[in-house]
Amino acid sequence: MAQYQFPISILIADDHRLITDGLATILGAEKDISEIYTADNGRDAVELVMQHAIDCVIMDVDMPILNGLEATKQIKQQKPNVKIIVVSMLSDAAIVNKLLRAGADAFINKESGKAELLKAINVVINGKKYISPEISAYLFTRLSGPKADQEETVERQLTPRELEIIRHIADGLTNQEIAGKLFLSTVTVDTHRKNMLAKLNLKNTASLVRYAAEHGLLK
């Protein structure tokens, strides 16, 4: 590992003793790692980070008392410089987003090997982010899968003119303003809006705007 005040100290937070022990053994063999702390729940993890000079936390998602997400939030709030590597199962992928927003620095799988763990530590200590390709694939699918389908179906459903109009609507323009801007009659703008509601099976303008936003149709 490179440019940092070596050796570094690490906290392993996981409620499975076998895992903490295993990781501690692996990491104990690394010359750049001095201290290794362990915690079997989120609350203890947060406390340990507050009390000791810990550089990096290897955090399980599913822990008693305080889960990995909450623990990450609290740690990052108090000590933003502490790096957090989340060890998740693919089944936890649904909360990857929340963890990202909570400030997690890396994601690796429980299926990841020693090499990937060490790589992740190396990367985050150097101030960068790391996500294992397996977890990326999940994010990837969320970003591309739905939107790809949607764009194919939706952008075929909405005509160029309609797209233009929904964007103006979402911008907060009134029919009058849109009509002025596009040199149309207000009723025409309204017709387009109504046509969109009908073809997308939506109830009202609010849901239309939401739909547009969630389907990446804006801008």
Binding site partner of 188, from DNA, a second copy, none, Cβ cut-off 5-8 A by kind:
DNA
> Per-residue x/- mask for a second copy, residues 144 to 183, rule CB under 8 A?
x--xx--x-----------------xxxxxx---------
Sheet holding 130-131, edge to edge: 33-39, 8-13, 56-60, 83-88, 106-109, 130-131
Q: How far apart are the first and last CA of the chain?
A: 42
Instruction: Give me the least distance between CB of 98 and a second copy, in Å please.
Output: 10
Q: Interface with a second copy includes 200 (CB under 8 A)?
A: no
> Are the C-beta atoms of residues 48 and 39 closer than 8 Å to each other?
yes
Instruction: Write the DSSP string, 9-68.
Output: EEEEE-S-HHHHHHHHHHHHT-TTEEEEEEESSHHHHHHHHHHS---EEEEESS-SSS-H
Q: Interface with a second copy includes 132 (CB under 8 A)?
A: yes
Q: Interface with a second copy includes 213 (CB under 8 A)?
A: yes
Q: Which amino acid is at 150?
A: Q
Binding site partner of 88, from a second copy, DNA, none, Cβ cut-off 5-8 A by kind:
none
Q: Which listed range, 9-17, 20-28, 63-71, 99-107, lies at the site for a second copy (CB under 8 A)? A: 99-107
C-alpha–C-alpha distance, residues 74 and 69, integer Å: 9
User: What residues numbered 148-177 form the site for DNA, per CB under 7 A?
Assistant: 159-162, 169, 174-176
Local structure of residue 84 (DSSP, 8 states): E
Instruction: Give me the least distance between CB of 30 and a second copy, in Å please.
Output: 20
Please report, as ranges, the residues that interact with a second copy according to CB under 8 A. 97, 100-104, 119, 123, 128-133, 135-137, 139-141, 143-144, 147-148, 151, 169-174, 202-207, 209-210, 212-214, 216, 218
